[in-house]
Structure 1
Amino acid sequence: MKDVEIKKKLSMGPKFVVIGGGTGLSVLLRGLKGFTSNITAIVTVADDGGGSGKLREDLGMLPPGDIRSCILALANTEPTMEKLLQYRFTDGILKGQNFGNLFIAAMNEIYGSFEKAVKETSNVLAVTGKVLPMTLEDVKLCAVLENGSTLKGESHIPIDAIKEGSRIDYIYTDPKISYPLEESVEAINEADIIVLGPGSLYTSVIPNLLVNDIVDTIYNAKAPKVYITNVMTQPGETDEYDVLDHVDAILKHSTLDFLDYVIANTEEVPYYILEKYVMDGSKAVLMGVKDEEILRSKNIKLIGSKLIDIRKEYIRHDNIELSRLLMEIAKKEK
């Protein structure tokens, strides 16, 4: 099929709004762009660790890390350019800093706007669809644990939760009021399908739901709402969580009948890989015997599928199979 025909076919694909952040979201986007070009990724900007955190502190800008990953996932660029934008310095004052982050930081300085910087970076890299920050407000993520302690800072929450020996009860942002971009609201209202995740439950997915009126906007949209659970638990964040625990956390930060579908992995993780994760305090996210029945009582359809993709001994979602499942839902509900 010629490039023109492929582009035409993709342009006629369903309108996706994908909400989250981190590695999980970028992995999904790389698969999804092969099925439709109508993609809007709404990405968390609550990150305060690593290179992004340093830029946030030094330049007073929003953290670019998750935005960069999603832009590169949807970019149509040469392999050398992608390697350049993924390059992380190993020495000197730039040690640990990512070139792509610096690129967005430079764009932010040139245009005096993080929103404009993201758009211009997307234009330079010929991005399929749109990548939008969840808000332009400088928000800090906070978590209240089940023992009553309050933790502050996205990068500190999992570490401090482990130290406290207590699970997360709920999260909020400081300031508590922040506003979504108008483009995000328009995309949600026009979407054929709205997808949450995959990604870190409390630090990548749920933070997007804390933006003012975004839960109501998603809830009132005509599109089906789909949540993709993680394959593995995350230490200090979702210890011992099963599929139902993940879903309950989403509903706790939104509303009871917020979701229409939940997609979960049913494939066993190979032992040689699982052993490595268990040593780091992570376990497979399992489906309970009664999960399907319980979710059905909440008017949520559970879809189980083999979704594991192992690359360089790291577990990721199989983004092609995941994209196929999402396309089926979008076409069915359209």
Structure 2
Amino acid sequence: MRWIEWMKPGLQIKRWALIVFVGIILLALSFASFVSSMNLSLNPIIVMLSGFIGLILILFAVNKVISSIINLYYIQPPMQSKTQSPKLNQVFYDKKIRSRGPKVVVIGGGTGLSVLLRGLKQFTSNITAIVTVADDGGGSGKLREDLGMLPPGDIRNCILALAEMEPTMEKLLQYRFEEGTLKGQSFGNLLIAAMNGISGNFEDAIKSISEVLAVTGSVLPVTLESIVLYAKLENGRIIKGESNIPSKSLEENSPIEKVFIKPKESEAVQDAIESILQADIVVLGPGSLYTSIIPNLLIQNIKDSLLKTDALKVYIPNVMTQPGETDDYSVTRHVEAILAHCQQIEIDCVIANIGSIPDNISEKYKREGASLIKLTDIDCRILKEMGIEVIADNLIEIKKDYVRHDAVKLSKTVVDLVLKEKLSQGKEGFIQYFIMKSVLKGK
């Protein structure tokens, strides 16, 4: 029954190969009859006609074979179950399409960043995630205090977002112990801690973990120095520690005026600087404004590289406010907070949500002190006056009553921004634009 399996639809090449074979047979018969024309049993017109038809079939089928391969090579995204081994189209897509995707640098931390990364890896493998290391709470905080290492939590989430692995492996790395001295600690954090112990430094540990888990792109700590985040509240109170800032802001009933880090002279890892300088686009967020995004921008080397790069600079605010951090913040106020901490940085574009959420979800978040951040006409006018382009869309996705960005839709918007810019950069940009536009349509 192998011939039945062989005839099943697959990459749409076998059928055209079969037609090529039939065409060759017909052409061969025609040629053979022509050679032995002295004893020709067929009408010469029929012989020539069959040869002509055979030639047409060959040319037609070869064209179809080439078209099918081009479709796989340039356009068709991989569509396979997690139990199947990679097929030709998967290999083509992974090695060729995503490798030719735009160079995207994402700066931030927390859940918002990992959500975006899951979407971006479907379109490009040229991703660099620069992740904050100011976290000092939860399991990461315990490892930071006990082992003197940088906090692995946000980095772990980014690695998992970009990794190619089975669901069971991801569940294992996200598993949190429920009792004993390890209660609340995740297995993934412990794995990073162990790798840190046998590596030269934290950056090398992350690179090793990324290789083991087949990470698309790279995940980098913003610095290898043990930085501490501080916040000055509007009432003048200074709060020490990333995990304390939101709670103390609520307790004091005083909003955040500014944040700063110690040591102030902390330097970024070299790979992070180079990735920003070589990027097509640098994305700030989504993520916690004061505790995930801005701390990265306070590293002097990061700020300097953002000033030097020719990349587009885009900011993506969260879809919901965060209690004790961005209460009642508009989109404009988010942007103003970034520019207040990094006055010379220019933001080219803001990608903001205009979608709504169901009343029951809104009420749930309201009880927790959060509300929807929705782009308004006033935001659009102010941002336009600031020279910032605004892209507005319904970017909301709700899973298990949690409001998040729609990762694929948001990633399409980011990639499309780069491609429009590439379109003005000559032949290479023109070709890349239409190749990637075909991919975007397929998602």
**TM-score, normalised with respect to structure 1:** 0.98
- Equivalent position amino acid for 1:184 in 2: A
Higher relative contact order (CA 8 A, sep 6+): 1
Determine whether 1:32 maps to 2:92: no
- 1:164 is matched with 252
Alpha-carbon shift at residue 288 of structure 1 (Å) = 3.0
- Distance in 2 (alpha carbons) for counterparts of 1:333 and 1:147: 44
Alpha-carbon shift at residue 287 of structure 1 (Å) = 2.0
- Equivalent position amino acid for 1:197 in 2: G
- Distance in 2 (alpha carbons) for counterparts of 1:253 and 1:319: 28
Alpha-carbon shift at residue 213 of structure 1 (Å) = 2.8
Equivalent residues in 2 for 1:1-334, closer than 5 Å: 1=72, 2-7=89-94, 8-255=96-343, 258-334=346-422
Structure 1 window deviating more from structure 2 (138-147 vs 215-224): it is 215-224
Alpha-carbon shift at residue 164 of structure 1 (Å) = 0.8
Cα displacement string for residues 180-226 of structure 1 (whole angstroms, at most 9, x for unaligned residues): 11111110011000000000000111110010231121122101100
- Distance in 1 (alpha carbons) for counterparts of 2:152 and 2:383: 36
SS class of match (1:173): strand
- Distance in 1 (alpha carbons) for counterparts of 2:191 and 2:338: 34
Alpha-carbon shift at residue 328 of structure 1 (Å) = 1.0
- Distance in 1 (alpha carbons) for counterparts of 2:302 and 2:330: 26
SS class of match (2:374): coil
Alpha-carbon shift at residue 256 of structure 1 (Å) = 5.1
- Equivalent position amino acid for 2:107 in 1: I
Q: Which has the larger radius of gyration?
A: 2
Aligned residue pair count: 334
Contact 2:330 2:379 in 1 (8 A): no
Unaligned residue ranges in structure 1 (runs of 5+): none
Alpha-carbon shift at residue 255 of structure 1 (Å) = 2.0
- Distance in 2 (alpha carbons) for counterparts of 1:263 and 1:166: 29
Contact 2:313 2:349 in 1 (8 A): yes
- Distance in 2 (alpha carbons) for counterparts of 1:133 and 1:256: 23
Unaligned residue ranges in structure 2 (runs of 5+): 1-71, 73-88, 423-443
Alpha-carbon shift at residue 151 of structure 1 (Å) = 0.5
Contact 2:273 2:301 in 1 (8 A): no
Alpha-carbon shift at residue 227 of structure 1 (Å) = 0.2
- Distance in 2 (alpha carbons) for counterparts of 1:229 and 1:219: 21
Bigger fraction of residues in helix: 2
Structure 1 window deviating more from structure 2 (303-312 vs 286-295): it is 286-295
How large is the RMSD of aligned CA atoms in angstroms? 0.9
Cα displacement string for residues 250-296 of structure 1 (whole angstroms, at most 9, x for unaligned residues): 11111255200001100011111110000000011122332112111
- Distance in 2 (alpha carbons) for counterparts of 1:144 and 1:88: 33
- Equivalent position amino acid for 1:109 in 2: G
- Equivalent position amino acid for 2:91 in 1: V
SS class of match (1:309): strand
Alpha-carbon shift at residue 332 of structure 1 (Å) = 1.4
- Distance in 2 (alpha carbons) for counterparts of 1:191 and 1:61: 29
Cα displacement string for residues 61-104 of structure 1 (whole angstroms, at most 9, x for unaligned residues): 00000000000000011211111101000011111000000000
Structure 1 window deviating more from structure 2 (212-221 vs 97-106): it is 212-221
Alpha-carbon shift at residue 235 of structure 1 (Å) = 0.3
Contact 2:303 2:345 in 1 (8 A): no
SS class of match (1:213): helix
Cα displacement string for residues 91-118 of structure 1 (whole angstroms, at most 9, x for unaligned residues): 1111100000000000001114111110
- Distance in 1 (alpha carbons) for counterparts of 2:121 and 2:90: 14
- Distance in 2 (alpha carbons) for counterparts of 1:264 and 1:256: 22
Alpha-carbon shift at residue 230 of structure 1 (Å) = 0.8
**TM-score, normalised with respect to structure 2:** 0.74
Contact 2:107 2:284 in 1 (8 A): yes
Cα displacement string for residues 105-143 of structure 1 (whole angstroms, at most 9, x for unaligned residues): 000011141111100000000000000001001001000
Bigger fraction of residues in strand: 1
- Distance in 1 (alpha carbons) for counterparts of 2:183 and 2:193: 16
- Equivalent position amino acid for 2:323 in 1: P
Contact 1:15 1:190 in 2 (8 A): yes
Contact 1:261 1:302 in 2 (8 A): yes
